[in-house]
Amino acid sequence: MSRLLTALLLTFTHANSLWAQYCNDTRFTGAPIFTASDIVWETNVTYGFADNWYDNEPHPDFNYFDIAYPDPAIDAMEKRPLIFLAHGGGFWGGEKENLTYYQQMLAQAGYVVVSTNYRKGWMGSPVDCAGDPASLVIAIYRAMQDVQASMRFVVSQREKYGIDTAQIFAGGESAGVYAILTSMFTSQEEWDTDFPFLSAYYGGIDNETNNVAIDFSVKGYISMWGGMYNVEDISASEAKPTIAFYGAGDDIIPPYYGTIQSCTDYPNVYGGAGITEYLSSLGVCTELHVNPTEGHVAYEPEYTAAAIACFVKRVMCDDCTSGNYTFKEADCAEDYAPETVGVIAENEAAIQAFPNPVQTLMQIRLPAHWKATPDIIITNASGEQVQVPVTYKTQLVVCDMQQLPSGLYHIQMRAENEFARATCIVAH
């Protein structure tokens, strides 16, 4: 190996290490690096089978989730972080399709994103405190069982979906958050102390709905106007970074602590401010976004999706800083823009090549205003032109570099009257 190549490879060692941790480019920051057509969707995937209860009678039914992820045929990354979401609806309504926008936006940013259904429904009216408190507790318990079963099933399919199980983030909206956080932090014993006989009648929190037995851990949590049963169930060793969104006019979930919908007989709930305050006291990173003018649904999905992406990216990169915000511009793409990754722009055109160094597939994101399919020339360090398989997608070029020897390569691209260059390292 030449001294030049050795020096270049040493220069890129640090960048390569960061790439392995998802931290050396704008992927996962919320900025779309894939088009909508680049995303694979699988809908109504069955994860379990459980009883729905109507008129005190069991009615068996299937449980489903939807999953979205970048097409493996064009995505060079083999393992991707997972964002697992559950919809809201007061344990009465709502569907997994309510979170389709989040799936689309976060998948285009590079994540694997799941939206899951769970059993819902309880006796009486869910408004004006006219519902039956006992049946609400049962509905919460069933939802807890289902979200746990759904997460177990998704993790068991990690190879199929290309999931990095060290980077799992879970949450969602309202009731879905309550089900996830409570099922993760409130043990069976703690739940049974407050609500005896549920487990004897409906089974355990983490062993129903399917028979998948697999261990997994969550690296961080996402609470969009949601809450949990008891923050004191979170031990210091269990505390994980959390982002929460809350509307000051919320009349369903209190900001700190109270009962659901302020109904005396309904279960307790800690809101976003109470959760993040408690977690901060345990020394973990939290973000709380409070909209002073809105109610239960505090922010538009464009804001929350971008904030979630940046929060998750920072947690993965050990770059998370706690804070309370009203509106915070999600500008983290600039923080992770490549510096040593070679991009030389001419005629106001710019391209990015990633990952860099590369072993197999390299992606080149084209400038948004380039409409024509570019010509591409790749040369080695000696100036000799090399040929590699190239696939053209909308605003994306994928080059198969795995047959090239390790070394330094120059990429030249031309589209109409614009020209751009990049440098990359192939390192096997």
- Cβ neighbors of 274 (< 8 A, separation 6 or more) are 227, 231, 254, 255, 256, 257
The region of weakest confidence among 144-158, 246-260, 332-346 is: 332-346
pLDDT score of 76: 82
- Quote the pLDDT of residue 17: 41
Amino acid at 105: M
Helices (H), 33-167: 100-108, 133-156, 158-161
Q: Tens digit of pLDDT for each residue in 136-160?
A: 999 999 999 999 999 999 999 999 9
Q: Is the pLDDT of residue 72 over 70?
A: yes
Whether the pLDDT of residue 334 is over 70: the answer is yes
Mean pLDDT computed over 41-52: 92
pLDDT at residue 192 is higher than 60 = yes
Domain 26-335 has CATH 1.10.10.520: no
pLDDT band (50, 70, 90) for residue 54: low
Give the pLDDT band (50/70/90) at residue 336.
Answer: confident
- The closest alpha carbon to 379, from 387, 371, 368, 389, belongs to 387
Look at 58-72, 196-210, 404-418 and tell me which has the smallest mean pLDDT.
Answer: 404-418
C-alpha angle 369/372/374, rounded to 5°?
A: 105
The whole-number pLDDT of residue 375 equals 85
> The pTM is what?
0.78
How far from 309 is each of 80, 135, 174, 175, 217, CA to CA, in Å?
13, 36, 19, 21, 19
**How high does pLDDT run on average in the chain?**
87
List, in sequence order, every beta strand (DSSP E) within 160-318: 163-173, 220-224, 242-247, 257-259, 268-270, 286-291
Of the candidate ranges 5-19, 106-120, 283-297, 366-380, the one whose mean pLDDT is the lowest: 5-19
CATH class in words for 3-13+339-426: mainly beta
Q: How far apart are CA 80 and CA 167, in angstroms?
A: 8
pLDDT above 50 for 1: no
Domain locations in the chain as residue ranges: 3-13+339-426, 26-335
Query: Which tops the pLDDT comparison, 370 or 31?
Result: 31
pLDDT at 347: 44
Burial class (CB in 10 A: 0-12, 13-18, 19+), 270: buried
pLDDT tens string 397-420: 899 999 999 888 888 888 877 777
The per-residue b/e assignment along 281-319, b for 16 or more CB within 10 angstroms, e otherwise, is eeebbbbbbbbeebebbbbebebbbbbbbbbbbbbbbee
Mean of pLDDT values over 221-231: 97
Matching CATH topology for 3-13+339-426 and 26-335? no
Cα 251 to Cα 124, 171, 238, 270, 298: the distances in Å are 19, 21, 29, 13, 12
